[in-house]
């Protein structure tokens, strides 16, 4: 009987395979064999296609059932779908967007190819370069660089959850053309007897030009916090690989649930603001610069759909939640941390004392 879920097993011993961020190959932790992505993809291509077809049939039946229940006045959560782990047979429940996960009973990776096929099949993927242990080390290093962090936080802190996720992103190419006008000023002051005189000169400044943008990323998952996803940029898009399911074993993966048109608005806004900032960066030699007119036009239809690697780390301290995100390709990590207010006030009290001492010393020197 065809199943809508598949897993990648070692051809030598049938134990689960996982993608290794160190070697870039799929490795077996039991017998030690390893395989390239192409080898595994070819070996399991028929199995993946069969699983995708079974998923489509399952969805058809599921939607038909929903329609029948709706006609009778009943409702059922349309976001939850049941499936069985092909390794241990346990019944599992997946939300609508989860495409790769692991069985909580046997721990083996499970992939639902049907969720990443057809219109939902990614064009590209960037494989993970950092593993779980490296993500934990990066978080501890992140703690060490924060002098205002409560000492007890890093000592008592335990990571509640850590997961490597292939996050869906839309990648946009676009062009900008713009012309902006600015009012700039310069000022100088001098003393004449009992008076302080100030002269202010006003200038009209204009800047125009065009820029080309490639691969502006916008995360296409409503699960992910947009601020975290933007803060761990940039990714190195020279390492984009043609998508293959074989990169997924050992990690989680989601399909997009925010369409490209919604994301295009955010991408174009980023291109517009970046262009205006580039114009502004060319203006120098003034005391103030204020934009007074003009704007930027953004055009472009090219887009790609890709899965990008992100480590999500979650911890709890004093009943408060703290979420961190790490770029699984570059290792860049961001996240909010608590502040020790005694350290905060002590730090600025020390600065105040130092500046006060310096001021007194300078005054005595002048006198």
In this structure, is the dihedral angle defined by the CA atoms of residues 33, 128, 110 and 139, taken in order, positive or negative?
A: positive
Structural contact between residues 48 and 40, judged by C-beta atoms closer than 8 angstroms: no
Q: Domain locations in the chain?
A: 17-121, 132-336, 337-367
Give the model's pLDDT for residue 144.
Answer: 75
Give the model's pLDDT for residue 316.
Answer: 78
User: How many CB atoms within 10 Å of residue 98?
Assistant: 18
The CA-based diameter of the chain, rounded to the nearest angstrom, is 99
Instruction: Please name which of 263, 247, 243, 258 lies closest in space to residue 303, comparing C-alpha atoms.
Output: 263
Give the model's pLDDT for residue 258.
Answer: 95
> 240-296 pLDDT, tens per residue?
999 999 999 999 999 999 999 999 999 999 999 999 999 999 999 999 999 999 999
Structural contact between residues 120 and 258, judged by C-beta atoms closer than 8 angstroms: no
Give the model's pLDDT for residue 3.
Answer: 75
- Which residues lie across from 293 on neighbouring strands? 181
CA angle 277, 281, 283 (to 5 degrees): 125
134-149 residues labelled b (16+ CB within 10 A) or e (exposed): bbeebbeebeeeeeeb
φ, ψ (nearest 5 deg) of residue 334: -135, 160
Give the model's pLDDT for residue 186.
Answer: 97
Alpha-carbon distance of 102 to 218, in angstroms, equals 26
Residues 6+ positions from 185 with CB-CB distance below 8 Å: 200, 201, 202, 203, 286, 287, 288
pTM score: 0.83
Alpha-carbon distance of 43 to 294, in angstroms, equals 58
Q: Which residues of the chain have pLDDT under 70?
A: 1-2, 60-79, 145-158, 338-367
């Amino acid at each position: 009987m065809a199943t809508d879920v598949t897993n990648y097993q070692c051809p030598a011993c049938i134990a689960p395979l996982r993608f290794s961020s160190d070697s870039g190959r799929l490795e077996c932790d039991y017998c030690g064999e390893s395989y390239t992505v192409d080898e595994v993809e070819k070996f399991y291509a028929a199995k993946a296609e069969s699983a995708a077809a079974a998923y489509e049939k399952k969805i058809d039946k599921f939607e038909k059932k929903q329609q029948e229940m709706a006609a009778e006045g009943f409702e059922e959560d349309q976001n939850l779908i049941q499936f069985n782990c092909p390794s241990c047979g346990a019944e599992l429940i997946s939300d609508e967007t989860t495409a790769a996960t692991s069985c909580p009973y046997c721990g083996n990776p499970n992939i639902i190819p049907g969720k990443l096929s057809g219109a939902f099949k990614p064009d590209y993927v960037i494989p993970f370069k950092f593993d779980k242990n490296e993500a934990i080390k990066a978080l501890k290093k992140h703690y060490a660089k924060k002098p205002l962090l409560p000492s007890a936080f890093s000592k008592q802190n335990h990571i509640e959850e850590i997961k490597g996720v292939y996050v869906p992103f839309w990648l946009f190419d676009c062009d900008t053309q713009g012309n902006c006008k600015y009012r700039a000023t310069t000022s100088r002051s001098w003393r004449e007897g009992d008076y302080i005189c100030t002269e202010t000169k006003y200038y009209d400044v204009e800047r125009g030009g065009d820029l080309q943008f490639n691969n502006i990323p916008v995360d296409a998952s409503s699960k992910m916090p947009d601020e975290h996803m933007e803060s761990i940029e940039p990714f190195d898009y020279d390492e984009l690989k043609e998508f293959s399911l074989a990169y997924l074993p050992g990690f989680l993966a989601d399909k997009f649930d925010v369409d490209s048109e919604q994301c295009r608005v955010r991408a174009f806004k980023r291109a517009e603001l970046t262009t205006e900032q580039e114009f502004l960066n060319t203006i120098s030699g003034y005391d103030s610069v204020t934009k007074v007119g003009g704007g930027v036009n953004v055009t472009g239809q090219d887009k790609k759909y890709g899965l990008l690697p992100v480590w999500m780390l979650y911890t709890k301290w004093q009943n408060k939640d703290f979420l961190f995100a790490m770029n699984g390709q570059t290792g860049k990590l961001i996240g909010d941390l608590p502040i020790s207010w005694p350290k905060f006030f002590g730090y600025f009290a020390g600065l105040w004392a130092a500046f006060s001492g310096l001021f007194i010393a300078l005054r005595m020197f002048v006198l």
